[in-house]
Amino acid sequence: MKAKHQRLTLAIIAIVAVIGAGFLALYGLRDNAALFRTPSDIAADPLPVGQAFRLGGMVADGSIEEQADGITIRFVVQDAEAEVSVLYSGITPDLFAENSGVVAEGALDAEGVFVAESILAKHDENYMPPELADVDMGREPGQ
């Protein structure tokens, strides 16, 4: 085989290998890719039961209810137009509270309740951790 044909064969094998690696990567990530939806999006176009996605919105005022087991909570995520009931078992983040932003990862069950596997509390750009709220950031150390 001539050197020209060997280079062409190697180039074709390399291209096929790169394409194959790309398909394998996409195949591996297909179950981990989570769509982001708001309560309005869900009301307009519900996803199939069990399909993973992220639900984002505000925790409704007065909606957080602890269940009898002490670990599970039920609350409502809302936006300007709709709301979704959420069930979560686990420890909530420190910033999780009523009237605050939240992103929950999970799926809808047959009754239309969002069963969350994890919760991420959101805060605004002016957030200051409670431990640092009383500290004057403008003064010199030791004063």
> Mean pLDDT score of the chain, rounded to an integer?
82
Residue type at 4? K
Q: Which residue, 101, 93, 140, is CA-closest to 123? A: 101
- Exposed, middle or buried by CB within 10 Å (0-12, 13-18, 19+), for 100? middle
Question: Which pTM value belongs to this model?
Answer: 0.64
**Do 48 and 25 reside in the same domain of the chain?**
no
User: Would you say residue 139 has pLDDT above 60?
Assistant: no
Specify whether 83 is located in the same domain as 25: no
- CATH number of the domain enclosing 115: 2.40.50.140
pLDDT of the residue at 51? 87
Does a structural domain hold residue 135?
no
Which range marks the domain in which residue 22 is found?
Answer: 1-33
- Asked whether residue 74 carries a pLDDT value surpassing 90, the answer given is yes
Does 86 share its domain with 23? no
Q: Do the beta carbons of residue 19 and residue 37 sit within 8 Å? A: no
- Within the chain, strands assigned E span 35-37, 53-59, 65-66, 72-78, 83-89, 101-108, 114-121
CA 61 to chain CA centroid, Å, is 21
Residue 88 pLDDT > 70, yes or no?
A: yes
Same domain, 114 and 48: yes
Q: What percent of the chain has pLDDT over 70?
A: 80
The confidence band for 97, taking pLDDT boundaries of 50, 70 and 90, is confident
Decide if pLDDT at 122 tops 70.
no
Which burial class, exposed, middle or buried, applies to 114 when counting CB atoms under 10 A from its CB (0-12, 13-18, 19+)?
buried
Whose CA is closest to 100, among 65, 127, 133? 127
| Bigger pLDDT: 141 vs 65 | 65
Q: Are residues 39 and 29 in the same domain?
A: no
